[in-house]
Amino acid sequence: MFGQGLIKGLSITLKNMFGPKITEEYPEQRPNLPPAFKGSFDLKVPKCIACGLCANACPNKVIKIESEKDENNKKKLTGYTMKTERCLYCGFCVETCPTKALLWNHNFELAKYFRDDVNLDLFSSYVPSPEDEKPAKPEETD
């Protein structure tokens, strides 16, 4: 019979018209993201020991680490770049970091106009925060 599809479509529309609203008004209303959401990357520069495990774990070789040795013969981070245009966002780099210096953040607005603007320079864009500073251990006196 003709018109059965029209009647079925209108019945679905009427059912959903009076139901709960599921559409978010995105720019005005920010989405409620779950804690396990994987957006972009954050690097805690004081925690990074420049071991290179994150760069070795990356399947696309997206991460480039630059380091130099300080006066105590310890590696010191001098540069950390990610070519996120080729990143799979698999999370292997975050999982392998022994000091948890590389973390996910909730920034999902990653669209850029130029291709070179997509790449992240996490070392030079780092802004120190008070929580990054380690509290000094009190010296023990005998």
Q: Which CATH class is domain 34-125?
A: alpha beta
What length is written for the chain? 142
Cβ atoms < 10 Å from Cβ of 62: 20
Query: Tens digits of per-residue pLDDT, 62-75?
Result: 999 999 998 888 88
Q: How far is CA 1 from CA 12, 13, 100, 122, 133, in A?
A: 19, 21, 65, 64, 74
- Rounded to 10 degrees, the C-alpha dihedral 90/92/85/35 comes to 60
Query: Tens digits of per-residue pLDDT, 78-97?
Result: 999 999 989 999 999 999 99
Prediction pTM value: 0.70
